[in-house]
Chains A and B, each alone.
Chain A
């Protein structure tokens, strides 16, 4: 069952700031299987967000190839990439980035309408997902700047899930949430994952990371080690212990 959905080889990303070159990702290889729940951890500035942007086709890598189901998206034109993102990816940004000229519902609709024309169906699904992450009807017609940070984050998560994408990229989706809401969101994610969608998530939180079946540790643009939790049941208390030991060995 475990066929590869996303595969990156020799991935490099270099930013040049004037004359200073910064190699953020260095010859990185990564393979994501359909249905994987992958967590990427690492210290601040290690290149986690950069990696997510590259894998989701939002930023072109400096070197290397990225294959999505055997197609080299790293050769795609900008427009092809846009179509790829709208069809197959969902993205939760670290900085949330909701469109502040639109209401909560419209923010989700714009993503949905890119793929389907069925307004009713999208609106209904949006409302359903909003309920699941703990947002009431009262919030549907608010504007982003009238929301709290946590509420905005949850809207962004719903936006990422609206098209039931094959891969969901989430950059610290629970960072701004209190524990109840974080659990809500993670439950939704886990449910989504259970229905076969892959998740690639960046987090600093061990409780969040515990939900994944695979942990990648990034340091200075290189995946220095990985931990496979797939063998353990979700409620196995050893999961937490093993993860902690792994992270401690990484110098976390």
Chain B
């Protein structure tokens, strides 16, 4: 008998344990491989995609009055290589609705460009092109196809205030800029020449703009290039006048990948949780294996096998399982690659191609093999201490014989109850491990259900993480803001209004600096969404709150004094709080209006957040404002609707992932529970058989089994569910730590905890009954004569 024979023999004997481990390893492999392959290839993938179309490094959209000056600014920046300018039409309060898919209208700003313009930068390569370009044909971002199900030939209804027109989708294009669902929500749409000219001639759809695309010498320095541009353009155009948008490749690349990075972080965390469960299952089955086979081990030792050889056979056993599990998992990962492709593509808006990535295969194989081997070595290493003699005396040393807590000649318990408790007490160590597994399963269930709820049902916590206000409408006044804002606040249907501005600030600390989207409002306690996670929001004019990402960039912390540069003025602020946000890539800061006035004495907030009363129609309200004030003085948009739209495209992906995880967890729960319970009942088989021989009926024995198993199952399910209640938010925060999230506020419904505890207990009960029920049909002899699993 060589080591391999012992190993395969063990595998054959422990079928359920083997199947469970293979499934766990396979699932961990799927998550790990997908996570690693997507995360490690994302960067190159985006770069290559961009290179295909010679994608712009920077885009700026302005009203066109300062084209000459802007060109000069670009040329003055060292990394500048060349640029292209074309005419476009900017539509700030546009909303779109695909008539064919039956979706609701989405409010999102858009820039229309002429498809027939010849361009070097950001060339348009049409996917699913219509055979003939219709007169009202429009080429839309590829993300609308993958995430929203748009198809060539669909009718797209464009509404701007009271005017609306129908366009026909004639194809899709891929681009990083203005074409993906991310923090920067604006679409770039291409029209045929004739339609484009008609739009320009009808002012109700938007206004002429100047669209400039720049290529630089340094694709890694595009964000610095943009900062430089913003700094200079402010000296020409005051905030909010003629500059609609600017966007750098670097910002967009991070922005585009942020959701998918979160999803992959979730997958990787899941794979780690599953590996942890696998670890305990390995510990459980090696412990059981050694206890059940201690006599065989003793015999082998007595025959002259060294403990090292026996240990080796156990490691070989797990290595074989790992190999099979890994291959199964890899195969499954490749099989589900269309789903992955869809999730990734709809999150980044670019056509992702899933393939076999050798590095990712090796990396995940490495992680899994190390984990499995390490754990099985440590849990089997105690074999080394077993001498043939102790092994053959069936391991007296392995049990600590305590006091007999339930002496049958004295106890008041009924016979069956007493016997159930005796076996419960006797199997302390096994119970501990089994309980640990069930606890973990229960915890993960609560975590997954809670994630699903917060991602898909009640998104308040998500919105809070993003860090945006929940105002339905946002208006920007170009003049007369004091009067207009007062009038709006008094309008019927308006519940509340808050003046809230933001600007791109450059924050400095010692010799470091970092850009931050700095919010300005008079009283932060009035905001509906509190982003503060440590300390407090600023109250006085010398105070600032900053996100942890910016603080990390600066190397500063609460209590430090930082400074802000604005139009040549520098002022110092004391950091009084730490905030968090996904928005603007987590780069944010907050100062008071009084603080802003120290930088710009004449400062007035021009932005108003409008919170409508329950049941008010946002679109109608926007139209009403536009009609009353005209679009020259006031820019109005449906603020919350565009956040929701961004969330929707994210939701589709997260739903697939969370649903998949829930399904997998259900499978794991059933298998692991079955394994743990079956192994425990099999261990008791001889004992049960003898009891049956002595005259116990099957029902009495099943009752004893229930008493000895259920307290652990119920206890662990309850403890795990409660732990899940408390651990969900810290776990999430840990997963999102890289995105500057310190604190999560996901709602974990108490009913979810109760439901999980009861559900897992019931599942355990059913499993116990199914497994234990088998002893009904078996005769006592069969029970104690058959070998243990």
Interface residues of A (CB under 8 A from B): 53, 56, 58-60, 78-79, 82-87, 89, 91, 93, 95, 97-103, 105-106, 109-111, 113-115, 119-120, 122-123, 141, 143, 145-146, 159
Contact = CB atoms under 8 A, between A and B. Distances in A.
B724 interface: no
B781 to A, nearest CB: 4
A58 B781 contact: yes
Interface string B684-722: 001101111111111100000000000000000000000
A35 B112 CA distance: 108
Q: Which of B404, B427, B686 has the most CB of A within 10 A?
A: B404
Contacts of B446: none
Given A58-B779, A99-B687, A141-B404, A120 B409 contact: yes
Nearest to B410: A119
A53 B697 contact: no
Interface in B646-694: 686-687, 689-694
Contacts of B686: 97
A91 B689 CA distance: 13
B776 to A, nearest CB: 7
B382 interface: no
Contact of B409 (A87, A115, A122): A122
Contacts of B396: 145-146
B419 interface: yes
A113 B689 CA distance: 18
18 contacts: A58-B779, A78-B698, A97-B689, A97-B693, A99-B691, A102-B404, A106-B407, A106-B408, A109-B408, A110-B694, A111-B695, A114-B695, A114-B696, A119-B410, A122-B409, A141-B404, A145-B396, A159-B694
A101 B694 contact: no
A103 B404 contact: yes
**Chain A to chain B: the 7 pairs with minimum beta-carbon distance, closest first:** A86-B695, A101-B426, A109-B408, A123-B409, A85-B695, A59-B781, A82-B697
B696 to A, nearest CB: 6
Contacts of B426: 101
A95 B422 CA distance: 22
B393 A97 contact: no
B694 A114 contact: yes
B367 to A, nearest CB: 40
B784 interface: yes
B688 to A, nearest CB: 10
Overall SS of chain B's interface: helix
A111 B694 CA distance: 6
A146 B777 CA distance: 33
B687 A100 contact: yes
Contacts of A119: 408-410
Contact of A59 (B401, B427, B780): B780
Contacts of A109: 408-409
Contacts of A78: 697-698, 776-777, 779
A32 B87 CA distance: 112
Contacts of B698: 78-79, 82
B781 A53 contact: yes
Contact of A91 (B393, B409, B694, B782): B694
A103 B407 contact: yes
A187 B693 CA distance: 25
B696 A82 contact: yes
Contacts of B693: 56, 58, 85, 91, 93, 97
A215 B676 CA distance: 48
A102 to B, nearest CB: 6
A133 B72 CA distance: 111
B99 interface: no
A103 B699 CA distance: 24
Contact of A143 (B401, B410, B423, B777): B401
B83 interface: no
Interface of B: 393-396, 399, 401, 404, 407-410, 415, 419, 422-423, 425-427, 686-687, 689-699, 776-777, 779-782, 784
Contacts of A59: 779-782
A59 B396 CA distance: 32
A148 to B, nearest CB: 10
Given A99-B691, A106-B404, 20 more contacts: A58-B781, A59-B780, A59-B781, A78-B776, A79-B699, A83-B695, A86-B695, A95-B784, A97-B686, A98-B690, A99-B690, A101-B422, A102-B404, A103-B404, A105-B408, A106-B422, A110-B408, A111-B695, A114-B696, A143-B401
B407 A105 contact: yes
Contacts of A159: 694
A97 B697 contact: no
Q: Which of A97, A105, A115, A146 has the most CB of B within 10 A?
A: A97
A53 B692 CA distance: 12
A25 to B, nearest CB: 13
Contacts of A85: 693-695
Contacts of B419: 110
Contacts of B407: 103, 105-106
Q: Which of B396, B399, B694 has the most CB of A within 10 A?
A: B694
Contacts of B409: 105-106, 109, 119-120, 122-123
Given A82-B696, A91-B694, A101-B426, A58 B780 contact: yes
Contacts of A82: 692, 695-698
B774 to A, nearest CB: 12
A101 B423 contact: yes
Given A102-B422, A145-B396, A60 B784 contact: no
Contacts of A115: 695
A78 B692 CA distance: 10
A110 B415 contact: yes
Nearest to A103: B404
B690 A113 contact: no
A105 B780 CA distance: 23
A239 B521 CA distance: 114
A91 B396 CA distance: 26
Nearest to B708: A101
A145 B784 contact: no
Nearest to A160: B694
Q: Which of A89, A110, A145 has the most CB of B within 10 A?
A: A110
Contacts of A84: 695
A146 B401 CA distance: 9
Contacts of A60: 779
B682 to A, nearest CB: 15
A79 B393 contact: no
Contacts of B425: 101
A115 B394 CA distance: 32
Q: Which of A78, A87, A115 has the most CB of B within 10 A?
A: A78
A145 B393 contact: yes
A109 B691 CA distance: 12
A103 to B, nearest CB: 5
Contact of A83 (B697, B776, B780): B697
A79 B776 CA distance: 9
Given A106-B422, A114-B696, A145-B396, A97 B690 contact: yes
A141 B394 CA distance: 19
A79 B780 CA distance: 12
A145 B415 contact: no
A37 to B, nearest CB: 22
Nearest to A102: B422
A248 B590 CA distance: 106
A62 to B, nearest CB: 12
A60 B778 CA distance: 10
A23 B86 CA distance: 96
A82 B696 CA distance: 6
A79 B691 contact: no
Contacts of A106: 404, 407-409, 422
